[in-house]
Amino acid sequence: MSELIAKERSIVIPGEALAEGMDYLPGQNTYREEEKIYSNVVGLLSLSGRAIKITPLSGPYVPKDGDKIIGRITDITMTSWRVNTGTAYSAMLNVRDATTRFVKNGEDLSKIFSIGEFIVTKITKVTSQKLIDLTMKSPDLYKVSGGRVIKINSQKVPRVIGKQGSMVSLIKNKTGCNITVGQNGFIWLKGEPKGELIAERAIKLIEQKSHQEGLTSKIETFLEEESKNN
């Protein structure tokens, strides 16, 4: 007989027993020890079929293949740029993957990206030792210019984007800002200074109340009140 010990949608803590019996399967952020399945992190329990999964409520960003992130150039080498990803591991962007145009031998690479600049980039490869390769070869990847870059916890990124981008387009419409969200929790806002300020506060609010229900309507009323006051 298998049974669920913790309730679905409830908050669980590390080491908490979630289910007993072999009918359930350990999914993301869980592990099996003999008959029981335990949680690895603080998070919300969800069931998909027989698999038990924990959606973490906090935690570091783990770089993955294909993630679109925002990073800061920290160093320039002979043929590449070193990029800070906001994690314990910095990434490498090779000249080959940086631009479509021909780069002459010995050309000053800081003319393309200089130290301190932010770029919207994509991860092409992550090794087991967390060496990260990046690319800029896609029309939706570019250098950040103007506006502001803010950082939130990367676990809250899906909430900031919303279902099919509903949340981010709501903020875009109400504040007139251009918003680019990186999977690593860096967010680039560009628009009128006032709009940027409101958008930043709205995003911080989402981060704070990320797991509440009816979040979109709450943010909508927040944005409406803010635009009335200004």
Partner 1 sequence: MTYTKRIDGRKLDELRPMEAKAGVIPNADGSAYFKIGKTTAYVAVYGPRELFPRFKQDPTKGLLRCHYGMMPFSGSGERIRPGTSRRAQEISMVMEKSLNPVLDLSAFPNAVVDVFIALPQTDAGTRCAAISAAAIALADAGIPMTDMVSSVAVGQVDGTVLADLDYSEEAYDAIVSDVPVAITHNKKEVTLLQMDGEISKEDLIKALELAKGATEKVYELQRKALTEKFADK
Binding residues vs partner 1 (CB under 8 A): 11, 13-17, 29, 31, 33, 38, 40-42, 56-60, 62, 87-90, 128-130, 155, 208-209, 211-212
Query: What is the dihedral sign for C-alpha 183, 185, 186, 189?
Result: positive
Closest distance of CB 16 from partner 1, Å: 8
Closest distance of CB 141 from partner 1, Å: 25
Closest distance of CB 3 from partner 1, Å: 18
- CA dist 61 and 51 (Å) reads 23
Closest distance of CB 80 from partner 1, Å: 18
The smaller minimum CB distance to partner 1, of residues 34 and 108, is found at: 34
The answer to whether residues 89 and 132 touch, using CB atoms and an 8 Å cutoff, is yes
The smaller minimum CB distance to partner 1, of residues 123 and 179, is found at: 123
Residue whose token pair is 């803590």: 13
The smaller minimum CB distance to partner 1, of residues 33 and 107, is found at: 33
The smaller minimum CB distance to partner 1, of residues 124 and 210, is found at: 210
**What's the per-residue H, E or C state across 96-164?**
HHHCCCCCCCCCCHHHCCCCCCEEEEEEEEECCCCCEEEECCCCCCEECCCCEEEECCHHHHHHHHCHH
The smaller minimum CB distance to partner 1, of residues 134 and 177, is found at: 134
Closest distance of CB 10 from partner 1, Å: 9
Tokens representing 159? Answer: 């909430």
Q: What is the largest CA-CA distance in the chain?
A: 69
Closest distance of CB 13 from partner 1, Å: 5
The smaller minimum CB distance to partner 1, of residues 6 and 198, is found at: 6
CB atoms within 10 A of CB 193: 8
